[in-house]
A and B are shown apart, each in its own frame.
Chain A
Amino acid sequence: MDIILQPWPWYVSGPLIALIMFILMFMGKKFGMSSNLKTLCTLCGADKKSEFFSFDWKAQRWNLVVVIGAAIGGFIGMYFLSPNPAVNINPETVSTLQNLGFESAGKAYLPEELYSLGALTNIKSLSILIIGGFLIGFGARWAGGCTSGHAISGLSSLQLPSLIAVIGFFIGGLLMVHLLFPLIF
């Protein structure tokens, strides 16, 4: 039991993610999470504004059930399987983050500075969450997928477009962390 309560190592987590992809494949579906955002747009009536959202959303209901499950899984992971959810990152990373003003580095699962309830009243951290979320949604749809659809499913089936997209993910991530973070924080 103690092994389950500890953070799961990469060599357990990675194969389990592959297993989830295979279970969905054998259920006749594709592992891809960002398409739910498109489905939710259609559910909110976006099909009246753009052709892009005119599709049979009912065929995507299964995937909405998967993400409802993902939320329940997060609840179970947090409240039943993690006596100490603090993420034990590299001490060097901790000191870099502390220099940027992230005091919670190494002590929490998410940075308090961005994700505590109090941070919602801070215009800067609120803007970061909004801009970050916007870029995730916009970029994932433009690229036709996210980490699950391209980096896992797409690369597993050796698709060149997915490789290009994943290279893009890293260009964006590296630009953000190395060039923009020192300007933002």
Chain B
Amino acid sequence: MKVLGYLIVGIFFGIVMFKSEAASWFRIYEMFQFQSFHMYGIIGSALVIGILGIQLIKRKKLKDFNGQKIHFVPKEKGFTRYILGGTIFGLGWALAGACPGPIYTLIGAGYVSVIVVFLAAILGTFVYGLLKDKLPH
């Protein structure tokens, strides 16, 4: 039953990514050219609702569907890994025009070539794992 729940959430996410055009290379390019509000509107409105909702969860101490407290694990403090890793990610995001969620959406939409991006992203993750201890964090 739970599996079905995750599947439905995923299907919904995929439809939203496709129909919002956040999965389109063209929208990413247009965003980095500052020639449309579309992508900023998507991220911005998701954030406003996200921030308000999380404040509500924290203040009302809301429980999840299993009755457990909802945890917000703070991300590890730091600067170097976030700015450098973020920059590398941004270079790839703008070049391939896809991020790690929409990759699956685009493959499902029939763009066979996106499988190349997907496999290369797995390889990139693997190489990070090999070099992790040599990189500044």
Contact = CB atoms under 8 A, between A and B. Distances in A.
Contact of B10 (A73, A77, A155, A162): A73
Interface in B12-69: 12-33, 35-47, 49-51, 53-54, 57, 64-66, 68
Interface in B85-109: 85-109
Contacts of A90: 30, 33, 35-36
Contact of A40 (B5, B9, B109, B122): B122
Interface residues of B, number: 113
Nearest to A175: B91
Contacts of A110: 24-26, 97, 106, 111
B105 A77 contact: yes
Contacts of B50: 18, 21-22, 152-153, 155-157
B29 to A, nearest CB: 6
Contact of B121 (A70, A111, A137): A137
Contacts of B107: 71, 74
Contacts of A41: 122, 125-126, 129
Nearest to A170: B90
Contact of A81 (B3, B15, B103, B106): B15
A7 B20 contact: yes
Nearest to B119: A133
Interface in A47-89: 49-50, 52-53, 62-63, 65-79, 81-82, 87, 89
A20 B15 CA distance: 12
A92 interface: yes
Most buried by A among B39, B90, B124: B90
B88 A142 contact: yes
A109 B103 CA distance: 13
Given A14-B42, A26-B64, A135 B88 contact: yes
Given A97-B29, A129-B116, A156-B54, A78 B110 contact: yes
B99 A70 contact: no
Contacts of A135: 88-89, 91-92, 95-96, 124
Interface of B: 2-3, 5-33, 35-47, 49-51, 53-54, 57, 64-66, 68, 70, 72, 74-79, 81-114, 116-130, 132, 135
12 contacts: A37-B125, A73-B12, A75-B14, A79-B110, A87-B27, A93-B36, A110-B111, A132-B96, A140-B125, A150-B86, A156-B46, A174-B94
Given A132-B92, A143-B88, A172-B86, 18 more contacts: A12-B20, A13-B19, A20-B9, A41-B122, A66-B9, A71-B107, A74-B23, A75-B14, A90-B35, A128-B96, A136-B121, A136-B124, A139-B92, A140-B121, A141-B125, A170-B90, A172-B88, A172-B92
